[in-house]
Amino acid sequence: MNRANMEPDKPLENKDILAKFARKCQKNFLCAALFVFVLLSTVAAQGQDLTVASDFYPQALAQRLQKIVESSADEVQPLRRMCLVILDDLNNAIHHLEHNPTEPSPALERLEQAVSAWNSVQKTWTIKTSVHSERLPYIPSAAALEEISLALQRRISIWKLLHNAESADASPITTLYHKTHDDVVRLRERTIAVEQHFIASRRGTERQMGQSWCDYLETRSWLSELEACQQSLAQPIRRVSFATPVIPVEVLQTLSHRANTTLHRLESPTLTDGQRAFLNHPTISTWREELQHWSADLVVPLDILRYMEQYEATGGATDMKTLVQLIDLLSDSKTAEFRQLGEHVRTQYGMANFRFFISGALLNNHLPEAEKGTASFREMIQDQPVFGRRQTATEVAATLVEHPTRLLTTLNVRVDLATQSRTDAMGTQLTNVGQASVVATKLIELTERGFVAEPCKASIVDHRMRLVRMTTDFDRVPLISGMFRNAVIDQYESRRPDADAETRRKILQQVRGQVDRQVDKRLQPINHRINGLTQHLDKEFGLRVVNRHSQTETDWLISSWDIHSRLTLSSNTPPPDTLPGAFADVKFHESLLNAVVGGLGFEGKQGSIREVKELLAEKLKLPDLARPDENDDVAITFATHNPVTIRLQDGRVEVTMSIAELWLNNQSHRDFQVIVRYKPVCDSEGRWVLERDGTLSLINVKAQILLRAAFGKMFPVSRPIPLVPTMLEADPQFDYLTTGHCRIENGWFALALVEKE
């Protein structure tokens, strides 16, 4: 369905105008030719109009499909017809959803069939990377096809749940409008009764358990809000027309949402039978009945689709926050269909937004090389002092331990010992030579807290000890020397098994201790950096790091992490593939970047460019950002809606700044946007950097030349963003590595470690 079908009057008016124009220029060949050209252009434009004007329309998805339709590449031809059919069914489904939200659309079944056909093509699609450029026709990558498939499946499932939610018997917020001061007082009294039931008459362990129940049901927060509401209602009434104080709509919404949440917890399916019986106490049941009167559905289900499409079109932190809040309201709804819809949408936008791949080859390349050393030692064996010299040869290797849910590697250490020792006792000196081979293993796991290592395990695979020389103080005394030597040898042989066992125990103890100390010494600074980063994300941006899925294969450590806060979403698109030749691969989604941007608090922020740079330098721990520039004194006020947004698409990093006001050269410039694009390139030294791509884009700006010059100095081409970590350049161990295989598509940024050549 197109705009012509939605607005039947407009095409008729166009036809009337064109008909009058044709009659006036029948005798003029040039005008007739112009008429034919305009007519054909109008028809062609109407034929290519594949979208509808609707808040529910998936603009971002439609643009990706339209991009394939417009491609002239031979490889894309089988997809073009499928895209046209999908676009037409999308139009029909949206039109049906707007006019008949409670009834399923026939177009949904056709879209499901289209997804099946699309997946069949996707399985045989061999294009691994996009070759799109300004000069070549667009060819989607395998990840781009998968993204379209997931986007279609996501909408089909959400639209189906929308039909159920719209048809549900829900209580709208209008049911709350008749609430009065007496209702607030009654709810507060019953909340106090519940808290006293849990705590007042209990002691010891029962009191602690009661406090846990109060925390679970948030009775203290309930009382704080109800007390604040009572105080506001107790203010003098300024308008005579109000017989009783009126509760503001915002307060009604807050209390209703809290009632929904509490009722959801009281009826949670995770509660045990004993817990449910405990919550059936008359005091709690009376409170539950009162909460039912305050419970209402605060969201129209179709709103979730409207804001979902808006978020996908912009990717901004403000739209993300709005969508999260709507999801929370739906998830805590009293209506089961609403809750199901909210949790489903949360799942669709809850995929991991940070992934990394580490090869076993990289781990082995950075293990300590084989070491040899000589040292003196002194031990007590069988209560006798033993001293001598020890030659040690150590080899280290790492083996990945296959596991479906954990990141595990085993450090294998082989230690070969050669010793020459002497024991002095009772006028006798015994000289021994020994050889021992020890194999030690240490299991190491990577978790959210960093590397966690189990105690070292060791075993002796070879141990030999022999007496090579014996001297006594009686060697020059006839008869006695022989007798004495025989007695010493007999004693030596009788004590040898115990001495060997004690020697083996000491060797194992020393090897285990040395391996544990060396591993801890290497892992401690890494764990310190990991913990510092997670604490920084939590403190500055409110972001928590959660390990979503980890897997250890024969040659790879593969992990997916979710870095989010209560008001942010995660990924909803598939990541790009890891290409051959990579030693490691790191991938992150634009939702993570925009979550960080949202934590900077730019919404409506006022200040100078210098203050903005200092804030970024402090929050991101990048002091170079605060270096002085020419326009540091320029005053800026960011927009309150999506002030800064980062998109990762088609090989480009796009940064959009929405500015409410900018003072430059004593002139005010209001309500405009600046778009800066970066692309990955190699600099003159062969290092990968992000370089500004082309000119800046200024939207809704009259003083183009002035602002273009100002922002050109703020984002100069001469200041690229390095993509080679300083660690690679500072540590000689990484001399053979550099960054490469940079992929920016489908909302993902991926960068690999590869050999320099």
User: pLDDT tens digits, residue range 161-171?
Assistant: 998 888 887 77
According to the model, what pLDDT value does residue 696 have?
92
Q: Which CATH class is domain 575-755?
A: alpha beta
Q: Count CB-CB contacts under 10 A for residue 639.
A: 20
Q: Give the pLDDT score at 286.
A: 93
Write down the pLDDT at residue 597. Answer: 94
What's residue 136's pLDDT? 76
Average pLDDT, the chain: 84
Q: Which has more pLDDT, 397 or 50?
A: 397
**In this predicted model, what pLDDT tens digit does every residue of 244-268 receive, in sequence order?**
557 888 888 888 888 988 988 898 8
Dump pLDDT digits (tens) for 303-352.
899 999 999 999 999 999 999 999 998 988 888 899 999 999 999 999 99
Predicted confidence band of residue 610 (pLDDT cuts 50, 70, 90): very high
Is the alpha carbon torsion for 374, 376, 378, 381 positive or negative? positive
* pLDDT score recorded for residue 47: 39
Lowest mean pLDDT of 28-37, 512-521, 560-569, name the range.
Answer: 28-37
Share of the chain above pLDDT 90, in %: 41
Span of 56-65, 533-542, 621-630, 636-645 with lowest mean pLDDT: 621-630
CA-to-CA separations, 757 to 363, 737, 753, in angstroms, rounded: 20, 9, 12
CB atoms within 10 A of CB 113: 12
Whether 17 has a pLDDT exceeding 50, the answer reads no
CA pair distance 441, 414, nearest whole angstrom: 9
| Per-residue CA distances from 421 to 385, 473, 486, 498 (Å) | 10, 19, 21, 17
Over residues 633-644, mean pLDDT:
94
**474 pLDDT more than 70:** yes
| Residue range 696-722: mean pLDDT, rounded | 89
Render pLDDT for 277-311 as a digit per residue (tens, 0 to 9).
Answer: 888 899 999 999 999 888 888 888 888 999 999 99
623/52: higher pLDDT? 623
What is residue 52's predicted lDDT score, i.e. its pLDDT? 56
Q: What is the DSSP string of 120-157?
A: HHHHT----S----SSS-----HHHHHHHHHHHHHHHH
User: What's this model's pTM, rounded to 2 decimal places?
Assistant: 0.80
Measure the CA–CA gap between 660 and 606, rounded to whole angstroms. Answer: 10
What's the rounded mean pLDDT across residues 638-656?
95
pLDDT score for 38: 40
pLDDT band of 138, cuts 50, 70, 90: confident
Q: How confident is the model over 85-108, as pLDDT tens digits?
A: 999 999 999 988 888 888 888 899
Give the pLDDT confidence of 672-707 residue by residue, as tens digits: 999 999 999 988 777 889 999 988 999 998 888 889
- Transcribe 188-216 into DSSP letters: HHHHHHHHHHHHTT--HHHHHHHHHHHHH
Confidence bin at 21 (pLDDT 50/70/90): very low
- Higher pLDDT: 187 or 48? It is 187
pLDDT of residue 40 exceeding 80: no
Residue 482 clears pLDDT 80, i.e. is over it? no
Domain range list for the chain? 1-47, 173-294, 358-533, 575-755
